[in-house]
């Protein structure tokens, strides 16, 4: 044993010293992840923080529309978009499995038979002039000890990529749900526009009939009739445009469900409830990092890049490969399982990074750059996440104010219409006054429908900006310090 061990240890020590020609000196990542609490948000988020404002995972049920709930449940059951995200996660899982298998001993088995006939003109008897066959069966074992942790680091890097892909799949589901709600809100607005257009058409028909009566009575000229005809045609065009929008949005919803356009023909007009005033969780922005799938995925990619640096550094050290082979070989089948047929070899092999120092340094520099890129993308995700929350919050505030103003204007217009109608019934006004007072009311209805749609879309944006109720798994101890 001593004759084998001492030369072996000497060889390893010599190899470790000799590998000093490949140095990592001067190579390191240039950046570290940003602390989200350095982003100033106190003034922008003032007055809207709440201890229980994180959205639920089924946040869309807030609008109380069973048809919308059913559409999202149908979509989340499986669409091409989700299938693609799941396939990417499965591929990442397979790659992580391959990296794990590379850390373990490899066992292989083989069996073969080969024979040859050599003429006596090439070799004399007894070999020449006869057919000779050999049967060989072997078991091969190969193992490369992970002396410097490089294989483990490579496996952990693959695990980080796997976790990022799994979180990306959650993000795909959140994005799909948000797209369905956005499209559904637009469908609700299109139905409201069609209803208003019908009311305007009814008003224009009454106005046209009244104009014709006044012309026949000699009280007006044809100008009033032509104006009424133009208003009626315009109302018809608006109704047709609304129907075209409804058809297009039904097709869009069908596509989001991964179905054909006939699926959209079964949809009824949406029945969405009003949207509540916005509120934000009190632990922004730090806890936002654990709720947003895109930010969590970016964190996993930083972790994967960090382990990639460790794997690149391990390449600077010598590697050892242990191989062993045991088998049986014989020219005759009757002798194949005898002791004399036993065949065995074993031995270590040492690989030294001689004359590869510059290539290894470039590989490490590339890994450092990958880490810096992952950190930059993570930082951008954090900044973008906080900005999206701020955008949605500010838009919600402005839209709530606009809706309140438009509602007050509509209430005043409705009172004016009621007054015109009372005067007409009392014989103090004309039907023209009533129809004239009805037009601005319809215009305000159109304006309010648009504002309500915008407000609902902002509510969707806010729910998504806060993570949409998803709870993605993030690194347990994510101390993101440059390796």
Can you give the residue range of the structural domain that contains 45? 26-103+146-317+353-465
Residues 231 and 302 in one domain: yes
- Count of Cβ atoms closer than 10 Å to residue 410 Cβ: 17
- Cβ–Cβ < 8 Å for 142, 102: no
- Distance, in Å, from the CA atom of 200 to the CA atom of 459, rounded to the nearest integer, reads 30
pLDDT at 296 exceeding the cut of 70: yes
Question: How many domains is the chain partitioned into structurally?
Answer: 2
pLDDT at 4 exceeding the cut of 50: no
Residue 262 inside a domain? The answer is: yes
Residues 246 and 362 in one domain: yes
Confidence of residue 20 (pLDDT cuts 50, 70, 90): very low
Name 322's bridge partners. 143, 348
Residues 300 and 372 in one domain: yes
Average pLDDT on 415-428 reads 75
Residue 14 inside a domain? The answer is: no
pTM over 0.85: no
pLDDT at 104 exceeding the cut of 50: yes
Query: In this structure, are strands 319-330 and 131-143 parallel, antiparallel, or unpaired?
Result: antiparallel
**pLDDT, tens only, 83-98:** 999 999 999 999 989 8
Give Cβ neighbours of residue 459 (< 8 Å, ≥ 6 apart): 62, 275, 276, 278, 392, 396
Residue 438 inside a domain? The answer is: yes
Q: Supply the pLDDT for residue 201.
A: 85
Final residue in a domain of this structure, among 337, 352, 367: 352
Residue 198 inside a domain? The answer is: yes
Q: Supply the pLDDT for residue 101.
A: 86
pLDDT at 435 exceeding the cut of 80: no
Residues 206 and 335 in one domain: no
Name 115's bridge partners. 133
Q: Supply the pLDDT for residue 341.
A: 67
pLDDT at 11 exceeding the cut of 80: no
Average pLDDT on 132-144 reads 82
Could you tell me the two tokens for 84?
């693609």
- Distance, in Å, from the CA atom of 254 to the CA atom of 222, rounded to the nearest integer, reads 48
Q: Supply the pLDDT for residue 232.
A: 80
Residue 477 inside a domain? The answer is: no
Name 96's bridge partners. none
Residues 287 and 233 in one domain: yes
Residue 21 inside a domain? The answer is: no
- Distance, in Å, from the CA atom of 104 to the CA atom of 390, rounded to the nearest integer, reads 50
Residues 140 and 152 in one domain: no
CATH code of the domain covering residue 391: 1.20.1600.10
Residues 136 and 195 in one domain: no
Q: Supply the pLDDT for residue 478.
A: 43
Residue closest to 62 by CA, chosen among 274, 257, 277, 279: 274
Name 142's bridge partners. 106, 323
CATH code of the domain covering residue 334: 2.20.200.10
Residue closest to 466 by CA, chosen among 377, 396, 398, 372: 396
Query: Which range has the worst mean pLDDT, 24-33, 129-138, 321-330?
Result: 24-33
- Cβ–Cβ < 8 Å for 294, 385: yes
Q: Supply the pLDDT for residue 102.
A: 85
Residues 83 and 198 in one domain: yes
- Distance, in Å, from the CA atom of 377 to the CA atom of 302, rounded to the nearest integer, reads 9
Query: Which range has the worst mean pLDDT, 67-76, 171-180, 242-251, 422-431?
Result: 422-431
Residue 13 inside a domain? The answer is: no
Residues 116 and 246 in one domain: no
Residue closest to 372 by CA, chosen among 279, 482, 270: 482
Residues 210 and 345 in one domain: no
pLDDT at 470 exceeding the cut of 90: no
Residue 65 inside a domain? The answer is: yes
- Distance, in Å, from the CA atom of 280 to the CA atom of 282, rounded to the nearest integer, reads 6
Residues 313 and 414 in one domain: yes
Name 329's bridge partners. 136
Q: Supply the pLDDT for residue 333.
A: 64
Q: Which residue did the predictor score with more confidence, 396 or 352? A: 396
Residues 358 and 380 in one domain: yes
- Distance, in Å, from the CA atom of 169 to the CA atom of 142, rounded to the nearest integer, reads 37
**pLDDT, tens only, 345-384:** 887 878 777 777 788 888 888 888 989 999 999 989 988 8
């Amino acid at each position: 044993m001593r004759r084998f061990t001492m030369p072996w240890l000497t060889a390893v020590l010599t190899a470790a010293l000799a590998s000093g020609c490949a140095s990592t000196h001067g190579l390191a990542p240039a950046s570290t992840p940003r602390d989200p609490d350095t982003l100033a948000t106190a003034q922008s988020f003032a007055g809207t923080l709440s201890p229980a404002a994180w959205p639920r995972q089924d946040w869309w049920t807030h609008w109380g529309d069973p048809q919308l709930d059913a559409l999202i449940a149908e979509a989340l059951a499986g669409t091409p978009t989700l299938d693609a995200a799941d396939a990417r996660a499965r591929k990442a899982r397979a790659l992580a499995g391959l990296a794990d298998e590379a850390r373990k001993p490899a066992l292989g088995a083989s069996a073969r038979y080969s024979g040859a006939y050599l003429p006596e003109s090439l070799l004399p008897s007894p070999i020449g002039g006869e057919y000779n066959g050999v049967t060989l069966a072997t078991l091969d074992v190969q193992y490369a000890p992970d002396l410097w942790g490089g294989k483990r680091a490579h496996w952990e890097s693959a695990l980080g990529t796997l976790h990022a892909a799994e979180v990306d799949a959650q993000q795909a589901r959140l994005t799909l749900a948000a797209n369905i709600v956005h499209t559904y809100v637009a469908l609700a607005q299109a139905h409201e526009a069609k209803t208003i257009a019908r009311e305007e058409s009814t008003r224009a028909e009454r106005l046209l009939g009244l104009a014709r009566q006044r012309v026949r009575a000699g009280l007006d000229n044809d100008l009033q009739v032509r104006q009424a005809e133009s208003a009626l045609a315009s109302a018809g065009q608006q109704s047709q445009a609304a129907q075209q929008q409804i058809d297009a949005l039904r097709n869009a919803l069908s596509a989001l469900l991964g179905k054909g356009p006939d699926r959209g023909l079964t949809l009824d007009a949406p029945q969405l409830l009003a949207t509540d005033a916005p509120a934000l969780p009190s632990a922004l922005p730090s806890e936002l990092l654990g709720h947003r799938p895109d930010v969590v995925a970016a964190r996993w990619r930083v972790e994967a890049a960090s382990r990639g640096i460790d794997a690149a550094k391990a390449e600077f050290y010598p590697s050892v490969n242990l191989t062993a082979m045991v088998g049986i070989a014989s020219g005759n089948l009757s002798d194949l399982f005898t002791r004399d047929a036993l065949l065995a070899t074993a031995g270590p092999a040492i690989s030294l990074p001689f004359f590869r120092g510059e290539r290894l340094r470039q590989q490490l520099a590339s890994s450092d750059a990958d880490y810096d890129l992952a950190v930059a993308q993570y930082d951008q995700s954090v900044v973008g996440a906080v900005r999206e929350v701020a955008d949605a919050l500010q838009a919600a505030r402005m839209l709530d104010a606009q809706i309140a103003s438009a509602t007050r204007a509509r209430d005043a217009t409705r009172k004016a219409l009621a007054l015109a109608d009372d005067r007409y019934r009392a014989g103090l006004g004309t039907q023209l006054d009533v129809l004239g007072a009805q037009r601005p009311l319809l215009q305000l209805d159109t304006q309010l429908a648009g504002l309500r749609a915008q407000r609902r879309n902002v509510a969707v944006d806010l729910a998504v900006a806060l993570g949409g109720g998803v709870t993605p798994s993030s690194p347990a101890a994510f101390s993101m310090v440059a390796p």
